[in-house]
């Protein structure tokens, strides 16, 4: 960019102050110098770029592989944790159902026991009432 502006400045300066032949010669010299300078820069830059390109490509590939493997690892861990949560929920539901059935069984046993006790109490009260309503038998007294 700077060389181009310098070239245009030179063109302008030469066109104002020099005849056409000198002007053409100056432009030709500048183009030759610029193309020679461009070839020198390219000859220095090209080997460097050729050496760095495989390294940069390898770095990019490694960065992509590392980030991809990280994402895959996170997804695998997420899947495993979801699976563990589902297993835990199933275990909790199983334990809950076992506890409910056990409590239900104990409740029915307790209810049966209460019913038996109520029946026993009722029958005992009936017997007591029958006995108390009867007149006491007279037992002969023994004389000494």
Closest CA to 25 of 15, 40, 38: 15
Highest mean pLDDT among 9-13, 15-19, 119-123 belongs to 119-123
Q: Could you tell me which residue, 43 or 99, shows the higher pLDDT?
A: 99
Q: How many CB atoms lie within 10 A of CB 59?
A: 11
Say what the pLDDT of residue 81 is: 96
pLDDT at 38: 80
Residue 135 DSSP class: P
Full-model pTM: 0.45
The model's pLDDT over 48-95, given as tens digits with 9 standing for 90+, comes to: 788 888 989 999 999 999 999 999 999 999 999 999 999 999 999 999
Q: pLDDT class for 33, splitting at 50, 70, 90?
A: confident
Q: What is the mean pLDDT of residues 18-27?
A: 56
* Mean pLDDT of the region 90-112: 96
Distance CA 55, CA 26 (A): 43
Task: Provide φ and ψ at 141, rounded to 5°.
Answer: -90, 145
Helical residues (DSSP H) of the chain, grouped into ranges: 2-17, 20-133
pLDDT over 90 (residue 98):
yes
Whether residue 30 is predicted with pLDDT greater than 80 in this model: the reply is no
């Amino acid at each position: 960019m700077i060389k181009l502006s310098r070239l245009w400045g030179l063109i302008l300066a030469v066109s104002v102050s020099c005849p056409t032949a000198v002007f053409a010669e100056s432009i030709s010299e500048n183009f030759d110098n610029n193309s020679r300078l461009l070839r020198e820069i390219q000859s220095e830059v090209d080997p460097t770029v050729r050496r760095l390109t495989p390294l940069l490509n390898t770095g990019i590939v490694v960065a992509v592989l590392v980030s991809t493997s990280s994402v895959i690892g996170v997804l695998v861990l997420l899947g495993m944790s979801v699976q563990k949560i589902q297993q835990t929920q199933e275990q909790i539901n199983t334990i809950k159902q076992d506890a409910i059935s056990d409590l239900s069984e104990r409740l029915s046993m307790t209810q049966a026991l209460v019913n038996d006790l109520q029946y026993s109490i009722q029958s005992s009260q009936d017997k007591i009432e029958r006995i108390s309503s009867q007149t006491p038998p007279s037992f002969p007294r023994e004389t000494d």
